[in-house]
Structure 1
Amino acid sequence: MNQRKAWLLLIFCNLFWSGNYVFGKYVVGEMSPLLLTYVRWVPATALLLVIAQKMEKPDWKMAVKSWRVLAGMAVSGIIAYNMILYTALTYTSSTNAAVVSALNPALLVIVSAVLLREKLTRIQSLGIFVSFTGVLVIITGGSLAQLIAMQINRGDVMMLGAITVWTIYSIIGKRLAQVPPITATALSALMAIVILTPFAAPQFSTLYQLPPMAILGIVYIFLFPSVGSFIFWNVALREINAGKAGIFLNLIPVFTAGINLMLGVPVTLVQLTGGLLVFIGVYTTTGLLEKRLSRLREA
């Protein structure tokens, strides 16, 4: 796989995750964050195991030998991240949650630099700044006064915990090079289900009371954010370092605005401007700008 294909995977990955904020906000009003996390991953795990066998044909015995790393992925990326995210959505809006998640790239870059010794050039660092500026434009409406007056609620603080956990998951996943990405996701999800079952079981009776829209939301969440996004994310991380991949998380607030537009919520000029800055930042950080400048100098 080349880098362009990896970038495309990351774009769709974050598009699917954006829908998770919107649908998750609604579904978590009908069930607990624990039960939603469990119900999301049971069908997703079954599908991931089948896909892993078909596409990767892994040596399952060899993969299981990495159970300690897989367990770390299960606890961080499957259990902790999802439960913190869905709990946060009970206190804050899907937009706020998506916006706070945009801080993740900066955290990934810092942790990657410290633990993995991954380096970014000055121009790529500028891309991080531009992307983050775009996010700030979106959440403040272009008003500095609004930024200063913002009040951080419990849900927003929880989202800071969620992105910290996701950073840990990304770093762990990067170190699991000996296990194919889909296999790793499937096995870590299976471990998470085993851990969660005794805690989720007492709430199973509430599933019969779910309205049709909640069921539709669950189907979306297990198919796209659970299966699609996790496969795309782990596959892309084999080609692109964690710091650069994290920049694409800045697309989540932009895509969330787009989903809201489709749901009838108007998108303002300020949001469009912020979205453009995010895309420019991603373009810069991926190294495409540097390559173009290099070609211009050679010409």
Structure 2
Amino acid sequence: MSKYRAWLLLVATNLFWAGNYVFGKYVIADITPLWTTFSRWLLALLFLFPIAYFLEKPNWKTVKKAWLSLVSMGLLGVIGYNMFLYSALEYTSSTNAALVSAINPAVIVLFSVFLLREKISRIQTSGIVLSLIGTFVIITQGNLGQLFQREYNKGDILMLAAVVIWTLYSIVGRRLTTVPPITATAVSALFATIIIAPFALAQGINVTEIGPLAVTGILYMAIFPSVFSFVFWNMSVRAIGISQAGIFLNLIPVFTALISGILGEQITATQVLGGSLVFMGVYLTTGMLDHKFAVLFANHN
């Protein structure tokens, strides 16, 4: 896969994940985080396995040998991340959750440098910093002082745990090269669904309390953030590495603002400014600059 295709897939990935933040806040009002996670991925499996079968035609003997990594991906990316994310949204606002998740690219880079020995240039480091500033401009509405004046609640701590879990999931996915990405997503989701099923059944659910908005949200999350985003993410991580893929996570607050605008909320000047900084940061970090200019920049620093 070319890096340009990987970039395009990552933009779509984070657009769908932004919708997950928007719908997630509404869904957990009617459905517990446990059942939200379980029902979302149970429905997603109906799409993932046919897609994997027809597009990748996996070697199931090879898949079987990688069972430990696939179980780990299911525990981390499917159960762990989603449970912490939806639990966080019970205690904190979407804005606060976005604030904490903004450190995700930095955490991914930190882990990948120490665990995978990936290297990043000075100009890529500048891009990371710039995109983080842009994200903070968006989620603080231009008042960066809020970053140092606020107190973090239980939801913020849960979101921080989600960030670490997602980083570990990405590292496992990066190292799993024997199983095609769509198949890896499908099988890891199957393991996760089997593991979480007894807990969901024991908790129970009252379907009469589930409104139409929650149903719509579950269907959206089962198709777009679950199927397309996870498949696109795993494909892109393998193609360009975790460090470059991780910077695209800063697009989530940008797309969240755009979705909110479509739903009737006003887009502010600070959101436009922050979004521009994020895109500039992605531009630098992914190495889209001409190589000669990048070398010149490095030599003068």
Q: What does 1:141-156 align with in structure 2 at a 5 Å threshold? A: 141-156=141-156
* Structure 1: unaligned runs, 5 residues or longer: none
What SS does structure 2 have at the residue aligned with 1:120?
Answer: coil
* Kept after mapping to 2: 8 A contact 1:2/1:239: yes
Correspondence 1:29 to 2:33: no
* Kept after mapping to 2: 8 A contact 1:125/1:285: yes
1:28-56 deviation digits (Å, cap 9, x = unpaired):
11011001000000010121011000100
What SS does structure 2 have at the residue aligned with 1:293?
Answer: helix
Between the aligned partners of 1:264 and 1:7, the Cα distance in structure 2 is 29
1:176-196 deviation digits (Å, cap 9, x = unpaired):
100000000000000001101
Between the aligned partners of 1:252 and 1:142, the Cα distance in structure 2 is 17
Residue in 2 aligned with 1:255?
A: 255
CA drift at 1:210: 1.1
RMSD: 1.6
Between the aligned partners of 2:68 and 2:175, the Cα distance in structure 1 is 12
1:120-162 deviation digits (Å, cap 9, x = unpaired):
1000000000001111211222224333322222111111000
CA drift at 1:296: 9.5
Q: For residues 150 and 204 of structure 1, do their structure 2 counterparts lie closer, same or farther at Cα, with a shift above 3 Å needed? A: same
Correspondence 1:293 to 2:296: no
* Kept after mapping to 2: 8 A contact 1:84/1:162: yes
Correspondence 1:93 to 2:88: no
Between the aligned partners of 1:167 and 1:145, the Cα distance in structure 2 is 27
CA drift at 1:205: 4.0
Q: TM-score w.r.t. structure 2 length?
A: 0.95
Between the aligned partners of 2:174 and 2:200, the Cα distance in structure 1 is 30
* Kept after mapping to 2: 8 A contact 1:98/1:256: no
Between the aligned partners of 1:295 and 1:144, the Cα distance in structure 2 is 32
Between the aligned partners of 1:294 and 1:10, the Cα distance in structure 2 is 23
Residue in 2 aligned with 1:65?
A: 65
Q: What code does the residue aligned with 1:16 have?
A: F
1:42-100 deviation digits (Å, cap 9, x = unpaired):
01012101100010000112202110000110100000100000000001112221232
* Structure 2: unaligned runs, 5 residues or longer: none
Q: Percent identity?
A: 54
CA drift at 1:281: 0.1
CA drift at 1:204: 4.5
CA drift at 1:109: 0.4
Between the aligned partners of 2:185 and 2:81, the Cα distance in structure 1 is 14
Q: TM-score w.r.t. structure 1 length?
A: 0.96
What SS does structure 1 have at the residue aligned with 2:239?
Answer: coil
